Amino acid sequence: MTGAILLWSVAAAQAMLVAAMGCCTYRLIFGPRAQDRVLGLDAMYVSAMLLVLTIGIRTGSTVYFEGALIIAVLGFVSTIALAKFLMRGEVIE
């Protein structure tokens, strides 16, 4: 019984996280300005990381943890690079 509750609520959480990624994708595509797109990308990375974590809970497998960590690191670095680019027009000075 509790197992079914867990599976259903994880499925609902995954649906919510996918919807969150959809909202961020809208910001990523429709801007209106470059900083809005970068903000959308950053929020999308966080939602994707949480989605991978919920997949890990759903399957009971621990390998998804490393994937989530890598997504978090990549999201951080890419957002930093894009923000630098917005400020100066180049990434490496």
Partner 1 sequence: MSHAQDLPGWAALATAALVLLGAALTLIGAIGTLRLRSFFERIHAPTLGTSWGTGAILLASIICFSALGSRPAVQEILIGVFISVTTPVTLMLLARAAIYRDRTEGKGEVPPRAAPRRPD
Please choose, from the candidates 35, 37, 18, the residue with its C-alpha nearest in 3D space to the C-alpha of residue 27: 37
35 touches partner 1 (CB under 8 A): yes
Nearer to partner 1, 1 or 92 (CB): 1
48 touches partner 1 (CB under 8 A): no
How near is the Cβ of 59 to partner 1 at its closest, in Å? 8
How near is the Cβ of 92 to partner 1 at its closest, in Å? 15
Name the DSSP letter for residue 90: -
User: How is 39-79 classified by DSSP, letter by letter?
Assistant: HHHHHHHHHHHHHHHHHHHHHT-THHHHHHHHHHHHHHHHH
70 touches partner 1 (CB under 8 A): no
How near is the Cβ of 28 to partner 1 at its closest, in Å? 10
* C-alpha to C-alpha distance for 33 and 45, rounded to whole angstroms: 19
55 touches partner 1 (CB under 8 A): no
92 touches partner 1 (CB under 8 A): no
For residue 55, give the amino acid letter: I
